[in-house]
Amino acid sequence: MPSSRTPEPSPKIIAGAAVGWRAEAWQRMRAHFVLKTLGISAFMALFFVGYFHVLRHPAHAVTTMPLIALDHWVGFEPDALAAYVSLWVYVGIAPGLLRTLRELVVYGLWAAALCLAGLACFYFAPTAVPPSGLNLAGYPGFALLQGVDAAGNACPSLHVATAMFSAVWIDRLLRELRAAPVLRGVNAGWCLLIAWSTMATRQHVALDVLAGAALGLAFAAPSLRWRPRGNAARGRRGARLSSILPAGGRGE
pLDDT-based confidence at residue 21 (cuts at 50, 70, 90): confident
What is the residue extent of each domain of the chain?
Answer: 33-229
Spatial separation of the C-alpha atoms in residues 47 and 116, rounded to whole Å? 9
Spatial separation of the C-alpha atoms in residues 164 and 179, rounded to whole Å? 20
Q: Per the confidence metrics, is the pTM higher than 0.85?
A: no
pLDDT-based confidence at residue 233 (cuts at 50, 70, 90): very low
Helix (H) or strand (E) holding 73: helix 69-73
- Is residue 240's pLDDT more than 60? no
* Model confidence pLDDT, tens digit, residues 146-187: 655 555 689 999 999 999 999 999 999 999 999 999 999 999
* Model confidence pLDDT, tens digit, residues 25-59: 899 999 999 999 999 999 999 999 999 899 889 99
* Model confidence pLDDT, tens digit, residues 102-134: 999 999 999 999 999 999 999 999 999 998 777
Spatial separation of the C-alpha atoms in residues 19 and 76, rounded to whole Å? 42
* Model confidence pLDDT, tens digit, residues 44-102: 999 999 998 998 899 999 999 999 999 999 998 888 999 999 999 999 999 999 999 99
Identify the pLDDT of residue 230.
58
**For the chain, how are helix, strand and coil distributed in percent, rounded to 5?**
70, 0, 30
Identify the pLDDT of residue 147.
56
Identify the pLDDT of residue 108.
95
* Model confidence pLDDT, tens digit, residues 196-213: 999 999 899 999 999 999
Spatial separation of the C-alpha atoms in residues 105 and 98, rounded to whole Å? 10
Identify the pLDDT of residue 13.
41
* Model confidence pLDDT, tens digit, residues 215-230: 999 999 999 998 887 5
- Is the distance from CB of 203 to CB of 158 less than 8 angstroms? no
Spatial separation of the C-alpha atoms in residues 5 and 193, rounded to whole Å? 42
Using DSSP's 3-state secondary structure scheme, residue 178 falls into coil
Spatial separation of the C-alpha atoms in residues 16 and 186, rounded to whole Å? 22
- Is the distance from CB of 68 to CB of 206 less than 8 angstroms? yes
Identify the pLDDT of residue 99.
92
Spatial separation of the C-alpha atoms in residues 194 and 163, rounded to whole Å? 7
